[in-house]
């Protein structure tokens, strides 16, 4: 059956500019870090792609090593483009990254021109694309001069292989220097992707200020703290969860402490009073900051996508609600 997207899809979503660039991203973006690799059924991934796009999510975020196995999430993206989304390519923002280990040998990771160029070429081939909308340096590489990495990224824009440049996992100082180097190389930093949630507020320690100063957007990954900010862990660790999977690269059981569970329970009570689920409140809490362009969700079921997008119907937080949330977070962070 030929896929036809819903006509009203854009009416369901809010779109925000990434800093001072012309790039707009949906307030909710879909990450393909897990559940979209070669070990997962294509039709299940396809149902989530379709549900996301029909909900107005036009941004799909990847990296060269996403899977498992590495590279297979991009292959799934390429297959989706061929089967369903080729007519909609100009409505999509597709991003990918390089910087973490991807293949054997001295050029298989890092920020060198050799690795980053080869990685982008491989990603384009896997997805069947001429260009990506955003290309990220996935992490800083202390063994490569930052000038080399930034000059390479700026060159991709000039070559038409990428439209916008992004960074991920860079410190505030590294981000500011990278933005300056990009500008010197004739490029521009459009967006930064840090890990950010109610339970991980590190970007508040200088990064968000740097992004605002430099006119750079921000998209938060792991906004639900890898599932800790869902109702799944309010009563402990359920069977079948990520934390029960000893082989999972994500959440482990020792992360689900009594303090975390108690915090989630209290936050869940506030969410219920607001007429929301805990994940919806956690996403809305991030997006209350105008410096946030988008939140990058993961999903294993269509219902997760639909639930998260309904967050956009949230009422604004009252000063009293924000004060109570802050007290809960500060109470349990102390001493950890």
Identify the pLDDT of residue 259: 84
3-state helix, strand, coil in the chain (%, to 5): 45, 15, 40
Q: Is-contact 111 148, C-beta < 8 A? A: yes
Q: Are 108 and 124 in contact (CB under 8 A)?
A: no
Contact 27, 61 (CB under 8 A): no
CB 190 within 8 A of CB 21: yes
Residues of the chain with pLDDT under 50: 242-248, 252, 333-336
CB atoms within 10 A of CB 323: 11
What SS3 state is found at 321? helix
Residue 109 backbone class (left: φ over 0; alpha: ψ -120 to 50; beta: rest) = beta
Assigned CATH topology for domain 9-226+288-315: TIM Barrel (3.20.20)
CA dist 168 and 178 (Å) reads 11
The full set of domain ranges for the chain reads 9-226+288-315
Q: What is the pLDDT of residue 247?
A: 45
pTM of the model: 0.93
Confirm if 97 and 138 have CB atoms less than 8 A apart: yes
Question: According to the model, what pLDDT value does residue 256 have?
Answer: 75
Q: Give the per-residue pLDDT at 128.
A: 98
How many whole angstroms separate alpha carbon 61 and alpha carbon 272?
30
Nearest to 59 by CA among 311, 300, 283, 297: 297
Question: How do residues 215-259 score in pLDDT, each as one tens digit?
Answer: 999 999 999 999 999 987 777 665 555 444 444 455 545 567 888
pLDDT of residue 240: 56
């Amino acid at each position: 059956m030929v896929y036809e997207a819903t006509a009203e899809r854009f009416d369901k979503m809010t779109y925000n500019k990434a800093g001072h660039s012309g790039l707009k991203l949906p307030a909710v973006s879909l990450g393909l870090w897990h559940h979209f690799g070669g070990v997962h059924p294509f039709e299940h991934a396809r149902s989530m792609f379709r549900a996301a796009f029909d909900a107005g999510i036009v941004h799909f975020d990847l990296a060269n090593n996403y899977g498992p196995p590495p590279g297979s999430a991009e292959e799934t993206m390429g297959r989706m483009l061929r089967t369903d989304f080729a007519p909609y390519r100009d409505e999509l923002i597709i991003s990918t990254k390089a910087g973490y280990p991807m293949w054997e040998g001295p050029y298989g990771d890092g920020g060198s021109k050799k690795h980053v160029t080869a990685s982008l070429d491989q990603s384009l081939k896997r997805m069947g694309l001429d260009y990506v909308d955003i290309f990220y340096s996935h992490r800083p590489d202390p063994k490569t001069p930052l000038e080399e990495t930034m000059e390479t990224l700026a060159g991709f824009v000039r070559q038409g292989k990428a439209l916008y440049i992004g960074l991920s996992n860079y410190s505030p100082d590294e981000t500011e220097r990278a933005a300056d180097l990009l500008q010197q190389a004739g490029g521009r930093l459009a967006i930064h992707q840090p890990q950010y949630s109610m339970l991980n507020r590190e970007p508040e320690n200088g990064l968000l200020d740097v992004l605002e100063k430099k006119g750079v957007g921000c998209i938060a990954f792991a906004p639900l703290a890898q599932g800790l900010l869902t109702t799944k862990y309010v009563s402990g660790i359920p069977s079948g969860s990520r934390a029960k999977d000893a082989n999972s690269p994500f959440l482990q059981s020792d992360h689900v402490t009594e303090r975390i569970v108690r915090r989630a329970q209290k936050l869940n009570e506030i969410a219920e009073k607001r007429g929301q689920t805990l994940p919806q409140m956690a996403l809305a809490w991030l997006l209350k900051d105008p410096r946030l362009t988008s939140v990058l969700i993961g999903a294993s079921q269509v219902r997760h996508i639909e639930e998260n997008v309904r967050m956009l119907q949230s009422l604004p937080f009252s000063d009293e609600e924000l004060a109570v949330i802050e007290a809960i977070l500060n109470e349990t962070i102390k001493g950890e």
